[in-house]
């Protein structure tokens, strides 16, 4: 076998490892129900849940509770299955949280509680005008 062949095989091997590890470390978009099921099976992979913040009649977000020391907060989130779940976040509320149209939480269940390590916000209104300021 030529050296260049060994070299080629080596590269392919590394490429396969990369793809495998991507597939292995890739997270998934799931619902709270799926996430709970995963957690109950002992799968503690971090997952993504997409959802919205529940609002009252006048459009204010409800269910947000900062901790007494203000360093963390919990909130309610409704996923695509319309399931409401209390989510804990170990950081102060991100800027624009209340204005977001869609929330993606990255995290998982720990002892039956959903802890979000990361919150991604989707605020299209940030850049898209809703009307003219007159």
Partner 1 sequence: MIHYFPGNLGHILVILAFISSLVATYAFAKNINDKNNSWARFAKGAFYVHAIAIFGIVITLFLMISGHMFEYHYVYNYTSKILPIYYQISSFWNGQEGSFLLWMFWNAILGLILIHTNKSWRDSMMAVFTFTQVFLVSMIMGVVIPGLDIKIGSSPFLLLRDVLNDPIFTMQPDFIPEDGRGLNPLLQNYWMVIHPPTLFLGFATTVIPFAYAIAGMLTGRVKEWIRPALPWAQFSAAILGVGILMGAYWAYETLNFGGYWNWDPVENAVYVPWLVLVAALHTMIAFRKSNVALKSSIILILATYILIVYSTFLTRSGVLGNASVHSFTDLGLSGQLLIYLFVFIILSVIVAARVWKKIPSTEEETSAYSREFWIFMGATVLCLMAFQVIIPTSIPVWNEIVEAFGGSSNLAPPADQVEFYTQFQLYFAILLAVLSGTGQFFWWTKMDKSKLKQELAAPIILSLVASAVIFMVAKVQNIWYLLLLTASVYSIVANLKIFISVAKSNIKLSGGAVAHIGVAMMLIGVLFSSGYSKILSMNNTGLLWSKEFPDEVNQNNLLLFVNEPRQMADYKMIYRGLRKLTTEYGYVDLNDISDAVDARKLIIGRNTISSTGHELNVGDTINIINAENSYFEVIFEDENGKDFTLYPRLQMNEQMGNVYSPDIDRTLSADLYTHVRTFPDPDQEIEWSEIEEITVSPGSQFFINDYVAEFINIEPLRNVPGIKLGPEDIAVKALIEIQGEYQTYTAEPIYVIKDKMAGRIPDVVNDLASRITIQSINPDENSFVFGLSTTQKDWIIIEAVAKPWINVLWLGTLLLVIGFGIAISRRYTEFQKMRDKGME
Q: Is residue 50 within 8 Å of 60, Cβ to Cβ?
A: no
Q: Is 50 exposed, middle or buried (0-12, 13-18, 19+ CB in 10 A)?
A: middle
* Position 9 contacts partner 1 (CB under 8 A): no
Q: How many residues touch partner 1 (CB under 8 A)? A: 60
Determine the length of the chain: 134
Distance between terminal CA atoms of the chain?
Answer: 77
The binder of partner 1 chosen from 6, 9, 19, 62 (CB under 8 A): 19
Q: How far is the CB of 115 from partner 1 (least distance, A)?
A: 7
The binder of partner 1 chosen from 9, 11, 33, 43 (CB under 8 A): 11
Show contacts with partner 1 in window 71-130 (CB under 8 A): 71-72, 74, 88, 90-93, 95-96, 99, 102, 104, 106-107, 110-113, 115, 117-118, 120, 122-124, 126-129
Q: Is 103 exposed, middle or buried (0-12, 13-18, 19+ CB in 10 A)?
A: buried
Q: Is residue 83 within 8 Å of 32, Cβ to Cβ?
A: yes
* Position 44 contacts partner 1 (CB under 8 A): no
Q: Is 84 exposed, middle or buried (0-12, 13-18, 19+ CB in 10 A)?
A: middle
**Interaction site with partner 1 (CB under 8 A):** 2-4, 7, 11, 14-15, 18-19, 21-22, 25-30, 45-48, 50, 67-72, 74, 88, 90-93, 95-96, 99, 102, 104, 106-107, 110-113, 115, 117-118, 120, 122-124, 126-129, 131-134
């Amino acid at each position: 076998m030529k050296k260049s062949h060994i070299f080629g095989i080596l590269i392919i091997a590394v490429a396969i490892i990369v793809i495998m590890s991507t597939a292995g470390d890739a997270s998934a978009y799931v619902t709270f129900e799926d996430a709970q099921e995963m957690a109950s099976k002992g799968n503690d992979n971090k997952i993504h849940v997409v959802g919205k913040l529940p609002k009252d009649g006048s459009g204010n977000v409800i269910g947000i509770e900062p901790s007494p020391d203000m360093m963390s907060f919990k909130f309610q989130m409704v996923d695509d299955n319309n399931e409401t779940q209390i989510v804990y976040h170990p950081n102060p509320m991100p800027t624009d949280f209340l204005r977001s149209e869609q929330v993606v939480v990255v995290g998982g269940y720990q002892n039956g509680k959903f802890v979000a390590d990361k919150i991604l916000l989707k605020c299209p209104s940030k850049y898209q005008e809703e009307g003219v300021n007159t």
